[in-house]
Amino acid sequence: MASHCVGESDGLTFYLARPEDYDDVMAISHDIYGGMDYLPHRYHSWITEPGRVVIIARRDEKLVALESGLVVDGGETVVVEGLRVSPHERGCGLAGVIQTFADGYVKKIHPRVKSKRLTRGDDPGPEKLRKFALLARRAVLSLWGKSEGFDGFVSSLKQKLLASGVSNSSFRPLVSVQDSGALQAVLLDPDLPSRLQLPGAALIQDWQPLRLVQSNLQILARRDLTWFIDGSGEKPMFLSLHTPLYPVPFDGGSLRFNIDLYGTDPSLAKTALTAHLDRVKSDLQGMVVVHIYMHQTLWKELQQFCEGHEMVRQFRDYWEQLFLERDI
Ligand SMILES: CC(C)(COP(=O)(O)OP(=O)(O)OC[C@H]1O[C@@H](n2cnc3c(N)ncnc32)[C@H](O)[C@@H]1OP(=O)(O)O)[C@@H](O)C(=O)NCCC(=O)NCCS
């Protein structure tokens, strides 16, 4: 048995993924998430990331499925991501087989793991989700446009902010947080989850839910994130972050930009969105798809705030990110 082989079941052999499996993984990944798949970009960093396992399943040498899990929350939770099954094998329960194997493997090497958490962008209904607790639903606003349109788009958003009086002197400013100590103090404040209505008391960074505990801050620190915080006082009512732009296969090759907003104040949400776009606009190239994740009550106002621009438009109608949990 090859050294990276970790088990067998249901006619499948499971292996820890290696760099040389990349092409086989990509061969089963065409059109996943409508071209928004992060795995082509993240695969190589995933297989070396501390606390992460990436498991592939082969049938007769042929790669047929992949699942990954990152152990978080001080070792108590595994966040599962990347699940995919070869198009020829879908609908036969294979996703269940690799998930059961991966859960067991993670528990074997991380015995303190008690639960698994995941996020997904489709809603198969309560019957299919019966094994899970639905911890939260987040609204998603998606925009797209060619990079050259974003300068004008950001200017138009700034104009709208000015016109609405949001930038006047009584407005609570958003500040960019670069100091890791200051950020840590904000994130570890025990009141923060209730004050910002954090989904399931977690911060979801680009689909990855993390409780605000010290060990998870080290994970967030690895991600090169850009943060803005309501700077009005010691107890911020709003916080936002963006993940660095990354390439996805959409439309022959595009950039994906994910912004996570936390808090429910629409003025702060508009200011934060404008600040994040302003920060990256000079780095954009080619087609860009922006996903903005937020409390459901903010969606309509942000959608109206962004509409009316010719070059940057809404990419899809209202959709949601579901945040799920179950014991394992
Ligand atoms: C989603 C996908 C992995 C399902 O694979 P499949 O083998 O056809 O799955 P099946 O319909 O046979 O379902 C088998 C099991 O997987 C689960 N499952 C199906 N879709 C799932 C999803 N998106 N996330 C988590 N579990 C899922 C089912 O609930 C079922 O679990 P159970 O046996 O414990 O009840 C497959 O269609 C695929 O690769 N799609 C493209 C990638 C993708 O959308 N991945 C979703 C990541 S959130």
Same domain assignment for residues 158 and 307: yes
Kindly state whether residue 240 falls inside one of the protein's structural domains. Answer: yes
Does the beta carbon of 128 sit less than 6 angstroms from any atom of ligand 1? yes
Using one digit for the tens of pLDDT, what is the confidence trace for 177-220? 878 888 999 999 999 999 999 999 999 999 999 999 999 999 99
Please indicate whether residue 84, judged by its CB atom, sits closer than 6 Å to ligand 1: yes
217 and 295 inside one domain: yes
119 within a domain of the structure (yes/no): no
Residue range 149-159, pLDDT digits in tens: 999 999 999 99
pLDDT in tens, the chain (328 residues): 677 899 999 999 999 999 999 999 999 999 999 999 999 999 999 999 999 999 999 999 999 999 999 999 999 999 999 999 999 999 999 999 999 999 999 999 999 999 999 999 999 999 999 999 999 999 999 999 999 999 999 999 999 999 988 765 455 678 888 788 889 999 999 999 999 999 999 999 999 999 999 999 999 999 999 999 988 777 899 999 999 999 999 999 999 999 999 999 999 999 999 999 999 999 999 999 999 999 999 999 999 999 999 999 999 999 999 999 999 9
How far are the Cα atoms of 189, 219, 262 from residue 172, in angstroms, in the given order? Answer: 20, 29, 15
Q: Which range marks the domain in which residue 73 is found?
A: 5-113
For residues 63 and 7, give the distance between their C-alpha atoms in angstroms, rounded to a whole number: 15
pLDDT, position 78: 98
Q: What is the DSSP letter of 244?
A: P
Same domain, 303 and 190: yes
Q: The domain that contains 26 carries what CATH number? A: 3.40.630.30
Same domain, 282 and 194: yes
Sign of torsion over alpha carbons 317, 86, 29, 107: positive
**Residue at which a domain ends, from 79, 113, 147:** 113
Q: What is the CATH number of the domain that holds 245?
A: 3.40.630
Q: What is the DSSP letter of 212?
A: S
Q: What is the pLDDT of residue 276?
A: 97
**Domain contains 127:** no
Say if 219 falls within a structural domain: yes
- How many Å lie between the centroid of ligand 1 and the Cα of residue 96? 7
Looking at the 3D structure of the chain, how many domains does it have?
2
The preferred substitution site among 83, 129, 323, 327 for testing ligand 1, maximizing ligand atoms within 8 Å of CB, is: 83
Q: Is 262 helix (H, G, I), strand (E, B) or coil?
A: strand
Give the model's pLDDT for residue 233. Answer: 76
Torsion of CA 267, 268, 269, 271, to 10 degrees: 90
Residue to substitute in 26, 55, 90 for testing ligand 1 pocket (most ligand atoms within 8 angstroms of CB): 90
Q: Whose CA is nearest to atom 32 of ligand 1?
A: 96
pLDDT at 2 (0 to 100): 74
Confirm whether 214 is domain-assigned: yes
Pair 105, 151 in one domain = no
**Per residue in 277-316, pLDDT tens?**
999 999 999 999 999 999 999 999 999 999 999 999 999 9
| Cβ-proximal residues to 36 (8 Å cutoff; 6+ apart), any chain | 248, 250, 256, 289, 291
- Furthest-apart CA atoms within the chain: distance in Å: 69
d(CA 161, CA 121): 30
Measured distance CA(142)–CA(257) in Å, rounded: 10
Q: Are residues 194 and 100 in the same domain?
A: no
Same domain, 45 and 182: no
Residue 34 in contact with ligand 1 by CB distance below 6 A: no
Q: Residue 13: which region, alpha, beta or left (left: phi > 0; alpha: psi -120 to 50)?
A: beta
* Residue 295: both structure tokens together: 């409390």
Query: Is 121 part of any domain?
Result: no
Whether 95 and 78 have beta carbons less than 8 Å apart is answered as no
Q: What angle do CA 226, 232, 237 make, to 5 degrees?
A: 70
Choosing from 78, 113, 148, the residue where a domain stops is 113
Residue 28: predicted pLDDT: 98
